[in-house]
Amino acid sequence: MALDNKVIITCALTGAVTPKELNPSIPLTPEEIAEDAYKCWKAGAAVVHLHMRDDKGLGTMDKEKFKKTIDLIKQRTDCNVVINCTTSGDNRATYEERMAHLSYVKPEMASFDAGSFNWMPLGIFENSPQFLEQLGLKMKELGVKPELEIFDSGFMNIVSYYVNKGVLVPPCHYQFVLGVLGGMEATVKNLLFLHEMLPEGSTWSAFGVGRQHLPIMYATLALGGHIRVGLEDNVYYSKGKLATNVMLVERAVRVVREFGKEPATSDEAREILGIKK
């Protein structure tokens, strides 16, 4: 089956903020995160997006936590899931701490949050021009595929700036993040607007936070994009019903197939994204 009929399902397993009190299925320890990663891969996720938590359950950029988690995933010899690491898992971290794990664990993908904004009501989500240039060059040096996190339309121009400087190498992969208070609202109209800004030859994915999860998923499939699910973005399966990561992946698989497409395997995802195996 042609790759243009394949949809990459990414599962964002935990995030940096949401506590277990909101949903006891949120994985926090390396063991829990690795177990969820494996189960989600078995269920049909081609990519897992990893955040780490410290012993108090708060987001951390501790490179040893990343290494332990990834080592536990790789101990499953049948598992070849694409590992995508955050670079923004702790707003207390320095620029150096946000990048230290990249050379240490060498993930295939990592997030590149393409700008700064007021993440309401938590504070400023800072991604300065200086940091983004350092981050892009580090990923280029290590051969890590950047996932360009787009929270607002102006971020597309920031990406273009770094492409023109040679910091980012096209074709790029964009992740449209809709529904964060301070960024673009999770509406189909906004998704369509971002989609129309994509450079030719790009790959892209999208998700809506919380209750807008499903409308953005359906619209993304209609526009030919890839999708992201997971407890980082949405702790409910439906109104009043708590989700697990596996439940969200299994539903995404069903939706993709009902749409007439097929979930991409991890190796197919690598081919689509231009990641060397």
Q: Which domains does the chain have, with CATH numbers?
A: 3-273 (3.20.20.70)
* For residues 207-233, average pLDDT: 97
Q: Does residue 277 surpass a pLDDT of 90?
A: no
State the pairing for strand pair 123-125/117-119: antiparallel
Q: Which tens digit of pLDDT belongs to each residue from 115-134?
A: 999 999 989 999 999 999 99
Per-residue tokens: 151: 């929270």
Angle at 223 between CA 220 and CA 229, to 5 degrees: 15
CA distance 59 to 15: 7
Q: Which tens digit of pLDDT belongs to each residue from 192-209?
A: 999 999 999 999 999 999
Q: Which tens digit of pLDDT belongs to each residue from 243-273?
A: 999 999 999 999 999 999 999 999 999 999 9
Q: Which tens digit of pLDDT belongs to each residue from 121-169?
A: 989 999 999 999 999 999 999 999 999 999 999 999 999 999 999 999 9
Provide the pLDDT for residue 47. 98
Provide the pLDDT for residue 2. 83
* For residues 23-40, average pLDDT: 98
Is 0.95 surpassed by the pTM of this model? yes
CA distance 255 to 183: 27
Provide the pLDDT for residue 1. 54
